[in-house]
Structure 1
Amino acid sequence: MPAADLDDLDRAILRKLQEDSRTIAETIGAEVGLSAAAVQRRIKRLRASGVISREVAVLDPEAVGIGMTFVVTVEMERERLEVLDAFRKQARAEPAVQQCYYVTGSTDFVLVVNCRDMTEFEAFTRRMFFDNGEVRHFTTGVVMDRVKVGLTVPLNGC
């Protein structure tokens, strides 16, 4: 669904669902001025069109024993399509990789990685980087403080 097809009511519903996807249609409807049935129809359309791609539980990593977060920049040996695609596939398959971005500039990828501790991170680096002959260089930053973590999309622009 193109962004132009979203009206103000769709955006209001999406904002509410991004805050808490368990908010019931009656509550959303009361806030945006629609019936619960109309809200449910719109949510169904937003799901079917792919605007709502997934609905998940967001966990606190420390609460489940994942105490460390790393930001890793990766420079590949060659920028050939098959090399980039292979790394994308490897990153998607790796549970420790929370986010992976293919970027412009001096590096090729930026990863956000969660691990229990440094020992687990070292094992991760062996699998992802040292065992991959196409990785030229990687740099790791250890996250000191989770200042802001989110996946909400700004619906009124940046």
Structure 2
Amino acid sequence: MLDDTDRRILRQFQAAPEAASAVLAERAGVTPSTLARRLAAMRAKGVLRGVRGQVHWPSLGYEVEVSLRVQLDKTAPRAFDEFIAGARAVPEVTEVQTFLGSVDLRLAVIARDMAHYQQVYREKLLVLPHISDIEALMHVAMVKSDETVPL
């Protein structure tokens, strides 16, 4: 699917997505027009899904981050759909993942402080439908966070 040139371009793009096209092209060993054409083709194929800004939550006053492991009452036919729809509507929920196994879902939740987290937990999360069990894991430190793909 991808050739060596595409991989070189993606390595450089992952390393510095904010870099100017001319700089990325030079680092990847291609012309700017080749870079533009290849990036457009990778976007069209769905290899590149966009560029996003990464926000440092504590800089905005969100000091608490919690992972919630959720088990659902799966006897309800639409348990997953209804829970996920509710979780998506909670602004403090930054991520929803589904799993196979004893844990059905994981929610990433941010809050300004513990009092705010307690309010979000009680008023917005515990009222979500079909919860049979929920476990909170308090984040202590981010040891590694890397979304780049080894190419």
TM-score, normalised relative to structure 1? 0.84
Runs of 5+ consecutive residues of structure 1 not aligned to the other structure: none
Runs of 5+ consecutive residues of structure 2 not aligned to the other structure: none
> Residue 86 and residue 11 in structure 1: after superposition, are their counterparts in 2 closer, same or farther (change >3 A)?
farther
**Is residue 71–residue 140 contact of structure 1 (8 Å, CA) maintained in 2?**
yes
Instruction: Compute the displacement of 1:138 (Å).
Output: 0.6
Question: Superposition pairs for residues 58-97 of structure 1, below 5 Å?
Answer: 58-78=54-74, 80=76, 82-97=78-93
CA deviation vs aligned residue, 1:134-158 (integer Å, no higher than 9, x gap)? 1011100111111122332x234xx
**Is residue 111–residue 117 contact of structure 2 (8 Å, CA) maintained in 1?**
yes
Instruction: Compute the displacement of 1:88 (Å).
Output: 2.0
**Is residue 12–residue 28 contact of structure 2 (8 Å, CA) maintained in 1?**
no
Among 17, 22, 30, the alignment partner of 1:21 is 17
Count the aligned residue pairs: 151
Question: Superposition pairs for residues 51-130 of structure 1, below 5 Å?
Answer: 51-78=47-74, 80=76, 82-130=78-126
Q: Hey, what's the Cα distance between the residues in 2 that align with 1:21 and 1:13?
A: 11
> Residue 151 and residue 96 in structure 1: after superposition, are their counterparts in 2 closer, same or farther (change >3 A)?
farther
Q: Could you say what the CA RMSD is over the residues aligned between the two structures, in angstroms?
A: 1.9
Q: Hey, what's the Cα distance between the residues in 2 that align with 1:127 and 1:45?
A: 46
**Is residue 73–residue 138 contact of structure 1 (8 Å, CA) maintained in 2?**
yes
Q: Which amino acid aligns with 1:7?
A: D
Q: Which amino acid aligns with 2:120?
A: F
- What's the secondary structure of 2:49's corresponding residue? coil
Instruction: Compute the displacement of 1:79 (Å).
Output: 5.6
| Residue 155 (structure 1) aligns with | 150
CA deviation vs aligned residue, 1:71-90 (integer Å, no higher than 9, x gap)? 11001011655110122222
Q: Hey, what's the Cα distance between the residues in 2 that align with 1:46 and 1:57?
A: 20
TM-score, normalised relative to structure 2? 0.88
Q: Hey, what's the Cα distance between the residues in 2 that align with 1:9 and 1:92?
A: 38
> Residue 11 and residue 127 in structure 1: after superposition, are their counterparts in 2 closer, same or farther (change >3 A)?
farther
Query: Any runs of at least 4 consecutive aligned residues in structure 1 with deviations exceeding 6 A, and if so which?
Result: none
Instruction: Compute the displacement of 1:114 (Å).
Output: 1.6
